[in-house]
């Protein structure tokens, strides 16, 4: 079964750090670009970051650039998101997602169950 | 940033009826980069449609997508109670953006 399982969420104080993990199984993880997407009731679904298949290329939303760092360990089939200098605006459910690229189109075809990050004192 | 607007905000229909959901982009979107997702409470989004009109694996044929340029549509031809959910469109251009969603109540 193709699966993504996030972990590492929790309560953190403003200015703090947190590292999220996303364990992949059931597919060849090293072949796919991987993404992080977050969701809040007020802003909805917002793309956060992406990393290419071998980890050599990363991109970030302006709102997290310089604070968040995406990485991957293809030997461990795991995606990471290091989040620093957290603020209340980073409070959200964080999803990892696989990007599928076919001749028919491009879309996030596999999603994790999400992990909640709450930034509060 | 390409802003996606979805309408209506909420759609209340009965089983067996047809639902038509709209997604409008502020800039033209390549059809290859337009997708639709379904999200039920407490669950992650699920891919329904990619490439504007191709159904994802395992998606019933009552779901269909159409459109091009800045106007796209998701149609659910015969609503079932399990279709109650929020539906999001999503595009990729210079970055990835999602619409605010349409809630379908059955």
pLDDT at B54: 95
pLDDT at B93: 86
Say how far apart CA A32 and CA A78 lie, in whole Å. Answer: 12
List pLDDT tens digits, range B8-50: 999 999 999 999 999 999 999 999 999 999 999 999 999 999 9
- Quote the distance between the C-alpha of residue B66 and its chain's center: 10
Structure tokens at B101: 């969603």
Residue A11 DSSP class: E
Give phi and psi for B62, each to the nearest 5: -75, -10
Q: Is the pLDDT of residue A13 over 90?
A: yes
- Quote the distance between the C-alpha of residue B19 and its chain's center: 11
Q: Is the pLDDT of residue A104 over 90?
A: no
Q: Do B97 and A47 touch (CB under 8 A)?
A: yes
- The residues in A 90-109 lying below 8 A from B, measured between CB atoms, are 95, 100, 102, 104-109
pLDDT at B73: 98
Q: Do A104 and B32 touch (CB under 8 A)?
A: yes
Count how many pairs of residues, chain A against chain B, have C-beta atoms within 8 Å: 65
Q: Average pLDDT in the A8-23 region?
A: 97
Q: Using CA coordinates, name the residue in chain B closest to A109.
A: B47
Of the pLDDT bands very low, low, confident and very high (cuts 50, 70, 90), residue A103 is confident
Q: Average pLDDT in the B74-87 region?
A: 96
Q: Do B90 and A61 touch (CB under 8 A)?
A: no
The pLDDT > 90 percentage for chain B reads 95
Q: Average pLDDT in the A83-104 region?
A: 96
Q: Is the pLDDT of residue B56 over 90?
A: yes
List pLDDT tens digits, range A37-84: 999 999 999 999 999 999 999 999 999 999 999 999 999 999 999 999
Q: Do A108 and B32 touch (CB under 8 A)?
A: no
């Amino acid at each position: 079964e193709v699966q993504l399982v996030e972990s590492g969420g929790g309560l953190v104080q403003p200015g703090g750090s947190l590292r999220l993990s996303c364990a992949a199984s059931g597919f060849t993880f090293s072949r796919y670009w991987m993404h992080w997407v977050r969701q809040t009731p007020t802003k909805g679904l917002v793309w956060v970051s992406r990393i290419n298949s071998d980890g050599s290329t990363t991109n970030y939303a302006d709102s997290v650039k310089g604070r968040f760092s995406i990485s991957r360990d293809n030997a461990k089939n795991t995606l990471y998101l290091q989040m620093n200098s957290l603020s209340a605006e980073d409070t959200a459910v964080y999803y990892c997602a696989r990007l599928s690229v076919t001749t028919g189109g491009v879309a996030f075809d596999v999603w994790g169950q999400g992990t909640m990050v709450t930034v509060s004192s | 940033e390409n802003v996606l607007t979805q309408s209506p905000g909420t759609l209340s229909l009965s089983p067996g009826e047809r639902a038509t959901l709209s997604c409008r982009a502020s800039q033209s979107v390549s059809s290859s980069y337009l997708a639709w997702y379904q999200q039920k409470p407490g669950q992650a989004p699920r891919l329904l449609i990619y490439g504007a009109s191709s159904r994802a694996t395992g998606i019933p044929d009552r779901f269909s997508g159409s459109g091009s340029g800045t106007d796209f549509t998701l149609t659910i031809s015969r609503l079932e109670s399990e279709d109650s959910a929020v539906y999001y469109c999503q595009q990729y251009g210079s970055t990835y953006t999602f619409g605010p969603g349409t809630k379908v109540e059955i």
